[in-house]
Amino acid sequence: MKRTLFTATAMMTMIAAQPALAGEAKRSTFGAMPDGRPVAAVTLSNGKGVSATIIALGASIQAVTMPDRNGKVEDVQIGYDRIDGYLTKPEFFGATVGRVANRIAKGRFTLDGKSYSTPVNNGPNSLHGGTKGFDKVLWEVTDVKSGPTASVTMRYVSPDGDMGYPGELTTYATYSLDEANHLTIEYRATTDKPTVVNLSNHAYWNLAGVGSPRGAMGHVVTIPADRYTPTDATSIPTGGHKSVAGTVFDFRQPHVVGDRVRDASDPQIEYGRGYDHNWVIGDRVTPDQHLMARVVEPVSGRGFELWSNQPGLQFYSGNFFDGTIKGKKDQILRMGDAIVMEPQLFPDAPNQKDFPSVRLAPGQTYRNVMTYRLFVES
């Protein structure tokens, strides 16, 4: 039998030729809950200088770091440096929102002929699951993986009657980061009796970097939607779709957010004090992902494409930051300092028969998968 002898140099060449498993998932603790329970944190990182830190309170994105065109790495997620802010002044920063994301008119809905109510916490309406939605509970870390795709999975079991919603709902949130700089969030949920479910993530992006005086109003946004769902003065959809053509809601071609966000000639902008609306990307949940939005911060070159399997995109332009919140780096947050892009089903869907259904039955699996394809323009 012929043997091949390897020199040390040849061996090192072979090792170098093999792809490195650069992805790492590192566990830590991000403070504690008021009752003393530790809040787990997992930081996902890759070999491209990108990282994402996920905390178990609200299964939330606490930080995302990425380089600009000159290689300078900054955190691009608005939030808090310490657990105290998330506990004392929660603003859905990076959080998983549900059991039903967005608004339910007057906190009431009917399912299979039975009426239900959930706490009102946004004017006359219920927002993001009520007064104690999924963003305010401690999730359990069930799996952490390093490798080419680093990931963390968290679970929350919402009991029957939680915030007025029927059925015990078991939800898994998986965050993953790969070497292509794709940050993916996948939500899956099952129930033991018919219920309503609409989960999303409420990440606040400032691609200029946390603390940047540029804020997010210079971000250039593209949304491939020819319709949106207009609302009443309390941000509840009026029931129909409206063409974006000729309006400030037309982002089919790239537009700077700040160019039209204060155009009060459109009453829709006046209602929301800016953009806080649902764009109609499709009419149903799809098996595969499709493009929801593209966002670029032209000075740094940082950007992302957002892909999801959901039919709706809620675009919020940070209209209600009023200088009373102090975020990371002791930055006082003001109107327009960040934007939010939430792939989801439509607002008030439990009460809107012509909207895609949010009903989930036993034996079915709810799934919302979204991917931020991070990039840097040269």
Q: What is the pLDDT of residues 88-127, one digit of tens each?
A: 999 999 999 999 999 999 999 999 999 999 999 999 999 9
Q: Are 339 and 216 in contact (CB under 8 A)?
A: yes
Name the band, by pLDDT with cuts 50, 70 and 90, for residue 22.
confident
Percent of the chain with pLDDT over 90: 93
Q: Which residue among 128, 182, 202, 219 is the active-site one?
A: 202
pTM equals 0.93
Active site annotation includes 297: no
The HSE-up count of residue 348 (CA atoms within 13 Å, CB side) is 24
DSSP state, 85?
H
Domains of the chain: 24-376 (2.70.98.10)
**Each residue's pLDDT tens digit, 292-301:** 999 999 999 9
pLDDT(227) > 60: yes
Active site annotation includes 219: no
Name the band, by pLDDT with cuts 50, 70 and 90, for residue 21.
low
Q: What is the mean pLDDT of residues 263-282?
A: 94
DSSP state, 319?
T
Whole-number Å distance between alpha carbons of 260 and 258: 6
Q: What is the mean pLDDT of residues 228-245?
A: 97
Name the band, by pLDDT with cuts 50, 70 and 90, for residue 12.
very low
pLDDT(344) > 70: yes
Residue 278: Cβ-neighbour burial (10 angstroms; 0-12, 13-18, 19+): buried
Q: Which residue among 74, 91, 297, 342 is the active-site one?
A: 342
